[in-house]
Amino acid sequence: MTIEKSVLVPLTADQTFALVTEPERLRRWQAISARVDLRAGGEFRWTVVPGANAGGTFVEVEPGRRVVYTWGWEGDEAQPPGTSTVTITLEPAEGGTTVRLVHEGLTPEQETQHHEGWDHFMERLAVAGREGDAGLEPWSVRPAEAWDQLSAADASLAMCTFVLRRMGAGDGKAQTPCAKYDVDQLTEHLAGSLVGLGGCVGVEVTPDENAEREVRIADLAQPVLEGWRRRGIDGMVTLGHGELPAEVASRILSMELLVHAWDFARATGQELPANEGLSTYVLGLAKDGLIQPALRDGDNFADEVALGADADPMAQLVAYTGRRP
């Protein structure tokens, strides 16, 4: 079975090619995170929604004109990476570039599922072309199945990078709700946390000091989360100078990314998008032994802030960490 879709993007062919192939631009309309080796024979891996990772190999790459890649899903026995083929052709048109997508090699059931997905994302591609960014992907805070530590980390990354890429050049010195951190300092702290959490699973990453905040955090988080997917959450890991259960260490990913997304948003006058299911889940992780009483020392966490029973889950989460919503 084959899917065919077309959309007009109000950009040049080269600009549109970048939008459909470069990780920084893919994050503006399709992927939470992306790894791309853009050459014939190179591989890609995109986290499309939390817990759902597409992968395959590039077959043809003609910059500004055409890209062909195999496609499938990690962990899907019926459609693993490489079992279908996507061809994207770019043609100059009045008002921009016509993007024609053909997805071949699908079963009838897969065709039905992918029709919905491609309709959704092709519409977002057009919006990203018009506006520069299609906004937070609504599916990015909805897990493919039930929430788990790693799908929650995917969603928390989506929230964090969404806030970071909406910042202005002059926001670096804005004070965050963490008294010892301005925005630039909190970015450094979050980058350091990702480096440490990558080390837990044998992933060595180095922050790019010259990259914009969103690119810096996204480029660190992508290999770290991929490494955690490969390893899983069984057994013990080394974090800093001590060992702890991997299941516990994996919870830190969501806590760091989601709570600091709120910090960044509050510091720069943004509203964090609604994410009730995600914040409820991460609050549960925090309460289930992640924030130990000994950590409420005023340096790591302050005492929990009391809220009314009608407070929304995100407010409850940040209050549990000692912040005042």
Distance CA 163, CA 36 (A): 23
Give the H/E segment covering residue 285.
Answer: helix 276-285
Closest CA to 163 of 268, 78, 50: 268
Give the bridge partners for 45, in sequence order.
Answer: 35, 55
Domain 2-131 has CATH 3.30.530.20: yes
Residue 297, judged by CB atoms within 10 A of its CB (0-12, 13-18, 19+), counts as exposed
Q: Look at residue 259 in the predicted model and tell me its pLDDT.
A: 96
Q: Which residues, 6+ apart, have CB-to-CB distance to 210 below 8 Å?
A: none
The pTM score is 0.95
pLDDT of residue 241: 81
Quote the distance between the C-alpha of residue 124 and its chain's center: 16
**Is residue 150 pLDDT above 90, yes or no?**
yes
Residue 148 confidence (pLDDT) above 80: yes
- Sign, CA torsion 264/269/275/281: positive
- What CATH architecture does domain 138-320 belong to? Up-down Bundle (1.20)
pLDDT of residue 102: 98
**CA nearest neighbour of 25 among 128, 158, 122, 117:** 128
| CB-based contact 201:231 (threshold 8 Å) | yes
Q: Which residues contact 170 (CB under 8 A, 6 or more apart)?
A: none
Locate the domains of the chain by residue range. 2-131, 138-320
What would the two tokens of residue 194 be?
């990702």
Q: Which of 17, 19, 21, 4 is nearest to 118 (CA)?
A: 4
| SS3 label, residue 209 | coil
Q: Which residue has the tokens 């190179």?
A: 42
Residues 6+ apart with CB under 8 A from 243: 236, 237
54 residue type, one letter: A
Q: What percent of the chain has pLDDT over 70?
A: 98
**289 secondary structure, DSSP code:** I
pLDDT in tens, 249-287: 999 999 999 999 999 999 999 999 988 999 999 999 999
pLDDT-wise least confident of 4-18, 200-214, 301-315: 301-315
pLDDT tens-digit series, residues 114-136: 999 999 999 999 999 999 999 99
| pLDDT for the residue 299 | 67
CB 82 within 8 A of CB 57: yes
pLDDT score at 215: 97
- Does the structure show a pLDDT above 70 at 295? no
On whether the CB atoms of residues 81 and 72 are closer than 8 A, the answer is yes
pLDDT at 294: 67
Give pLDDT tens digits for 171-188: 999 999 988 999 999 999
Mind listing the pLDDT tens digit for each residue in 95-108? 999 999 999 999 99
Q: What HEC string does 21-52 produce? A: HCHHHHCCCCCCEEEECCCCCCEEEEEEECCE
